[in-house]
A and B are shown apart, each in its own frame.
Chain A
Amino acid sequence: MHNRWTLVTTWFLLSATGQAVAGGGPPSSDTTLLEDGEKIYQQYCASCHGIEGEGMPNWERQNAQGELPAPPHGPEGHTWKHSDAMLYRIVSEGWRDPWNKTERLTMPAFKEILTPAETRDVVNYLKTLWTPEQRRHQAEESEGAPFPAQSE
């Protein structure tokens, strides 16, 4: 579990590499947003993706329903490969693995539960779980695919 100091440190690291996650605001407000993001994560995401973002066991193998279990969000996962726009969309609208043999979404949709700002906060919190190189890669991916305007 991240504490406030971890989030503050991460914010400074993000800023130092030119990738402040919520550019423009002073550090205290950004840290608060990351804390908000973590709270949301623990409330809605951790049950599948793990308290530390470690994902489900055997997340790389399809299960009997044809689904890939919830992946980790840390360096060993692939969340960092997705742009802000895509991560926002997946959290908001959910996603159905086309090989899913059930009727349900593989990743549930949270647009009826989270506000646009909360969705953005939780995505920004995920960035604290990545390596600096992964954050750099993801920032480049997001240059042409940023968060939607309504989340600001």
Chain B
Amino acid sequence: MKNIASRFLHALSLASLVVASLGIVGVAGAAEEALPSLSYDQTGERLLKVDSHQLFQSINGGETWREIPLPEEGKEGRVVTAAVPATAEKALYIAGPSIGVQRSTDHGESWHEVDEGLPSQDVIAFTVHRNQPETLYAVVVDDGLYQSEDAGKSWKKMDSGPTQTIRRLLHSDMEGSMQTGWLYAVSDDAVRLSMDCFCGWRPTGELDAGRVYDVAYDLDDPERVYVTTDQGLWRSDNGGQEWQRVNGDGTEKVALTLAPAGTLYALDRDGELMRSEDQGQTWTIADA
């Protein structure tokens, strides 16, 4: 009898493990959901949107969008982000799992891989230095954070990154860094911050707001930072040391960016663009 009970308990524990494993996979799968992303190109004064394996640009604040052709493999892979250096440089970068980092200087007519120095093309987050057009940062899944100082010709591993998976990465020229600026890393649970000399990740202020989606900062006042979460938009006036909730309209925003004039843009889960001219207090549908 005791033996039967023991076998039953053993089987039960195995079944529990299987269920638990499926649960973990499920959570991981959900976390891999392809959310749209948004960025602002200061040089070209345009919005860049990545949504459903397509890349779009808008030069009129989101009223109309024009598709930028992606490389063939980009249509199969998952482009997670597009970024442009904040200078007169005409480079446009895209990055994502299985496509690595690619660069175009002819508005997407042709793309060139610039990830030969990376250990794999499974790039899950990418950003460009705020002031140095040739300095790029890429997060390689299950590996760490790499930096290139020559526009992707060569890469060097700088850090293993925080233990939580980085979904979004953003470089800021906020003062106070030992080096040239800071990197914000968005994971599902929090926004973390490191000086760009990679001397340690620190959590930003307490943000008990469910899943965190994206971060953006005011280009004219880098200490003003916004983060969008399951529970709405939050703002910090000191680089993320403390967050205060912004009383917005309650719509879910999964991507966020700021134009130099202070206009805040966001995307909902379906890629619909919203715009706010009052620091996130009120929002309008951009193409309405």
Contacts and interface: CB of A to CB of B under 8 A. Distances in A.
Are A and B a genuine interacting pair, yes or no? yes
Contacts of A98: 175-176, 239
A39 interface: no
A71 B199 contact: yes
A78 B156 CA distance: 15
A132 B241 CA distance: 36
A99 B199 CA distance: 15
B178 interface: yes
Enumerate the 4 nearest inter-chain pairs by beta-carbon distance, A residue then B residue, closest first. Answer: A98-B176, A78-B199, A81-B198, A99-B241
10 contacts: A62-B202, A68-B200, A78-B199, A81-B197, A90-B178, A95-B178, A97-B176, A98-B239, A137-B156, A140-B156
A98 B222 CA distance: 13
Task: Give chain A's interface secondary structure class.
Answer: loop
B178 A78 contact: no
Contacts of A68: 200, 202
Contact of B178 (A60, A66, A86): A86
Interface string B177-214: 01100000000000000000111101000000000000
Among A66, A86, A98, the one with the most B-chain Cβ atoms within 10 Å of its Cβ is: A98
Among B179, B198, B200, B239, the one with the most A-chain Cβ atoms within 10 Å of its Cβ is: B200
B197 A86 contact: yes
B219 to A, nearest CB: 19
A130 to B, nearest CB: 14
Interface in B199-240: 199-200, 202, 239
A90 B197 CA distance: 13
Contacts, number: 34
Task: Give chain B's interface secondary structure class.
Answer: loop
Given A98-B176, A99-B241, A82 B200 contact: no
Given A98-B175, A98-B176, A82 B197 contact: yes
The number of chain A residues touching the other chain, given as a range, is: 10 to 19
A5 B179 CA distance: 35
A78 B198 contact: yes
Interface in A64-112: 66, 68, 71, 78, 81-82, 86, 90, 95-99
The number of chain B residues touching the other chain, given as a range, is: 10 to 19
B193 to A, nearest CB: 9
A82 B176 CA distance: 16
A68 B199 CA distance: 11
B158 interface: yes
A82 B158 CA distance: 11
Given A68-B202, A86-B178, 9 more contacts: A60-B200, A68-B200, A78-B198, A78-B200, A81-B197, A81-B199, A86-B179, A86-B197, A98-B175
B202 A81 contact: no
A78 B197 CA distance: 9
Among B198, B199, B241, the one with the most A-chain Cβ atoms within 10 Å of its Cβ is: B199
Contact of A71 (B175, B200, B241): B200
Interface string B159-183: 0000000000000000110110000
B53 to A, nearest CB: 36
Among B176, B178, B241, the one with the most A-chain Cβ atoms within 10 Å of its Cβ is: B178
B175 A82 contact: no
Given A66-B241, A90-B178, A82 B199 contact: yes
Contacts of B239: 98-99
B164 to A, nearest CB: 14
A10 B37 CA distance: 49
Contacts of A60: 200, 202
B25 to A, nearest CB: 30
Nearest to B175: A98
Contacts of B199: 71, 78, 81-82
B254 to A, nearest CB: 28
